[in-house]
Chain A
Amino acid sequence: MKKIKAGRQPNRSRAGDVGVAIVLMIFGAFFAFPLVYAINAAFKPLNELFIYPPKLFVRNPTTDNFSDLFLLLNKQGVITFTRYMFNSVFVTTVGTIGHIIVASMAAYVLAKYRFPGSRTFFAAVTVALMFTGYVTQIPGYLIMAKLGWTNTYLSLIIPAFASPMGLFLMKQFMESSIPDVLIEAAKIDGAKEGKVFISIVMPLVKPAILTLMIFSIQALWNNAGTTYIYRDELKMLPFALQTVGAGGVARTGAASAATLFLMIPPLTCFILAQSNIVETMASSGIKE
């Protein structure tokens, strides 16, 4: 029986395998095309950007577009590129760390205990998976204003703590990967709930932590921060790069460089954490 797993599965035809590969390659090209384009365009010199007919691949790569981009951003106004960079890095880091701590604590008790209100609460989180920023934006603004959080980093950082996707994935993962006996044994040995959480539960859910990290970075890093913030010096990197793109055709080169620049951090994180993410998503199902 073990033999079957090691070699080819006997109910697969060669022709079918080739077909699978071809279908994936065709669609893969469609999915990869804009990204391949972005990478190439960012390194194209001016004469290649406006060549007719347009060519996909760059022939004489240059970093001119990047130096243009930084020059543009630095002379644009009083706010420098480094300031936007700091805003984005700061908000993404604090928001992600806070999200992981807050969501894991909640996920732990929801996964391992049944207490009044716990199931209703989780059901509400599952429904909230469908929310997007725009639907809650208006009342969200009124609430932010009441709290006095408009024009502060808090308006971006704090809501990120309670991202429904994070709690959902973490709870499902804890439910399937932490045996109850382990927690009971630790308690018999006299460990308090906080100690169990920090020294037993958290080390066991590393793949899920990395997954939450990726989803959180993805959301925060791509956030322009213009919903609750009006002061330019507090806005995020995507806002700065959007203003470059808004400069019109002449700035195509710098805007392509900006697009690539924004894409790199989340893409790198995903590549590094991919196997952990797949492991976590294995328990992502909605039961019942």
Chain B
Amino acid sequence: MSYANWRASKKRQAHFLWKDIKEHRTCYLFLAPYAIVFTLFFIAPVLVSIGYSFTYFNVLQPARFIGFQNYINLILADDIFLTAVKNTFLIAAITGPIGYIMAFIFAWLIHELPRSIRAIAVLVFYAPTISGQVYLIWSIIFSGDAYGYFNAYMVEFGFIDNPILWLTDPRYMMIIVIVVQLWLSLGAGFLSFIAGLNTIPADQYEAGYVDGVRNRWQELWYITLPNMKSMLMFGAVMAISQSFNTADVSMNLCGFPSTDYAAHTVVTHLIDYGSTRFEMGYASAIATVLFAVMYLCNKFIQRALMRLGT
């Protein structure tokens, strides 16, 4: 193709694109309010964050470009960041998959119940997610003195002799954070699974029965799971988001910063640098790293789920 031809075809494409855009101007009008707010408060912050991650910025002075220095410091010079990464990966590796599988199993078991009590069961399992500020309750349950429920019962039944400082002893803090995070982890993914199970047509199950599906396990594997692929993807996105962003549980139960940074996570590290020390460039680098990891993890899981049932 000659240059002139190439230019002409480019021009024609641009012309068609413009016509397409003009034809859909009402669409853009409808989209505009959302798009403006979304760009301003969801897209722009990510881009700004990536930009500032290459600078030294303390809010008072203008940002100064320092290249990859923040990232280099993060990996080579910041021991606490490495603790935070270790904790975050541990929390994500446990609460992510377990929370995800748990959400599916509970949804599936609830679906096995008679219709009349399903709604109540859904409420019981989903209530922790709706109720929001419940950290107070957990901090009383795991309170370090003998009035803490967990301590009281453990002493009562003779498992331990003296109350344990569950929330300030570095040996136990992570376990508590993980348990509470799991308790909170059913979320929107769980509702999606509950709903997804309702949509699988009954004749597929009937056909399965005729074809020799003998029990509920075979039915789960051969009929239910392949039908739920898209819900499983949605649930995966939710699980990744929750498990990598653990911060509230740690800060509310173990304090901020926690003893010996034992329950420090990437997000609490980010809050420390962003809101306490005002090292915005460094905090932005942390945010960028976290975001990149979540994005890759999401891509990887989507790829894996595509293979389901094939």
Contact = CB atoms under 8 A, between A and B. Distances in A.
Interface centre among B24, B121, B133, B298 (most CB of A within 10 A): B133
B188 A165 contact: yes
A238 B17 CA distance: 50
A124 to B, nearest CB: 7
B147 A52 contact: yes
Given A105-B31, A136-B45, A27 B106 contact: yes
Contact of A270 (B42, B130, B230, B271): B130
A222 B133 CA distance: 7
B123 A274 contact: yes
Q: Is the interface of A mostly helix, strand, loop or mixed?
A: helix
Nearest to A51: B147
Given A23-B109, A278-B198, A285-B192, A142 B48 contact: yes
Interface in B140-173: 140-141, 146-149, 152-153, 155-156
A270 B27 contact: no
B134 A259 contact: yes
Given A5-B202, A52-B146, A135-B267, A282 B136 contact: no
B137 interface: yes
Nearest to B123: A271
Q: Is the interface of B mostly helix, strand, loop or mixed?
A: helix
A135 B290 contact: yes
Contacts of B183: 30-31, 34
Given A259-B133, A285-B192, A161 B298 contact: no
Given A23-B109, A242-B133, 6 more contacts: A9-B209, A35-B137, A54-B149, A263-B133, A278-B194, A284-B231
Interface of B: 17, 20-21, 23-24, 26-28, 30-31, 33-35, 37-38, 40-46, 48-49, 52, 106, 109-110, 112-113, 119, 121-128, 130-134, 136-138, 140-141, 146-149, 152-153, 155-156, 183, 186, 188, 191-192, 194-196, 198-199, 202-203, 205-206, 209, 213-216, 219, 228-231, 233-234, 237-238, 240-241, 245, 247, 267, 270-271, 274-275, 280, 283-284, 287, 290-291, 294-295, 298, 302
29 contacts: A11-B209, A11-B214, A11-B215, A24-B113, A34-B141, A35-B127, A38-B131, A53-B152, A53-B153, A109-B30, A127-B298, A129-B237, A129-B241, A130-B294, A135-B287, A137-B274, A138-B49, A143-B40, A143-B41, A143-B48, A162-B34, A162-B37, A162-B42, A215-B188, A221-B132, A281-B194, A282-B198, A284-B188, A284-B191
